Structure 1
Amino acid sequence: MARDIDLHSISTAKTNEKAIAGRTSGLIENNETVTWRAKHLGFYQTHTSKIVDMEKPFRFTDYMLKGTFKSLHHQHLFEVKDNGTLMTDILEFESPFGFIGKLFNFFFLKNYMKNFIVERNEIIKKTAEL
């Protein structure tokens, strides 16, 4: 479900996130790209990611090819646990603008991104449990 483009759009409704290029529906696969358009921090932004590594059903990794960040790397890890699945996200990102970007990350963006991922994953979890 974490690879489902349509569910991603549902789980990010707060930011009006829509796939506008590349894979725009269904399950994204290894070596495919998706370009998202979403409203974050009051501005519409585009972000293009590519799935660069996938070992079904255990993990997949995407890298930002184009977007607002200086860099973004996102690992999605899955583990069978207590008759269910434990999903772990490892999100590494760097903002542009050098020292000012680092301050912005520390004081604001780190928590913003954490909350964004937690809210998205809660919707995925609820959908999976239906």
Structure 2
Amino acid sequence: MTGFEIVTHVMAPPERVFDVSLDVDVHAASMAGSSEQAVGGVTAGALRLGDTVTWRARHFGVHWRMTSVISAYDRPDLFVDEQVSGPFERWHHVHRFRPDGRGGTAMSDVIEFAAPFGPVGGIAERLVLRRYMAELIEARNRYVKKVAETTPTAG
């Protein structure tokens, strides 16, 4: 199993960053490079505790499906998404949101995952997947930051 943590500073309150991070449409837009889209479960709007979403995406030239569930939800402090079915042996993603003392939020992503295929999957985790997944999360977080820091329009 492999894990990593990414911390992103966002100049918006934790409540706003939390809500933006749980928005299916924001997530899909942040992953446009991999053509990720929600195709089952909650396919638009905000996710809540117990909600599932099935994502379809293209990574490494292959189409994948992954269904995840929001298994913990404590607004505005944290939520957890975990794979129910999909390409990983295990996927566990803790999202934390803490005031940064400067009027913004320290958004932390703690991810643990395991590739399938035993020892071969373990090698793929270390050689390719860890870096690839971290880059995906960083790209997603740049998009979340941009949306959260933009004042929503009325109406």
For Structure 1 versus Structure 2, the TM-score category normalised by the shorter chain is: over 0.9
Which residue of structure 1 lines up, in the alignment, with residue 4 of structure 2?
A: none
Amino acid at match of 1:104: A
Runs (5+) with no aligned partner, structure 1: none
Distance 1:106 1:17 in 2: 24
Amino acid at match of 1:49: S
Structure 1 length-normalised TM: 0.98
Partner SS, residue 54 of structure 1:
strand
1:93 aligns with 2:110: no
Structure exhibiting the larger radius of gyration computed from Cα positions: 2
Structure 1 position 15, deviation (Å): 0.5
Structure 1 position 99, deviation (Å): 0.7
Indicate the structure whose relative CO is greater, using CA pairs within 8 Å and at least 6 residues apart: 2
Runs (5+) with no aligned partner, structure 2: 1-19, 151-155
Q: RMSD in angstroms over aligned alpha carbons?
A: 0.6
Structure 2 length-normalised TM: 0.83
Which residue of structure 2 lines up, in the alignment, with residue 126 of structure 1?
A: 146
Distance 2:44 2:112 in 1: 25
Which residue of structure 1 lines up, in the alignment, with residue 122 of structure 2?
A: 102
In percent, how many aligned pairs have the same letter? 38
1:62 aligns with 2:62: no
Distance 1:41 1:120 in 2: 18
Which residue of structure 2 lines up, in the alignment, with residue 73 of structure 1?
A: 92
Amino acid at match of 1:123: Y
Q: Number of residues paired by the alignment?
A: 130
Distance 1:12 1:80 in 2: 26
Amino acid at match of 2:118: G
Divergent runs of 4+, >2 A: none
Which residue of structure 1 lines up, in the alignment, with residue 45 of structure 2?
A: 26
Amino acid at match of 1:12: M
Distance 1:91 1:125 in 2: 19
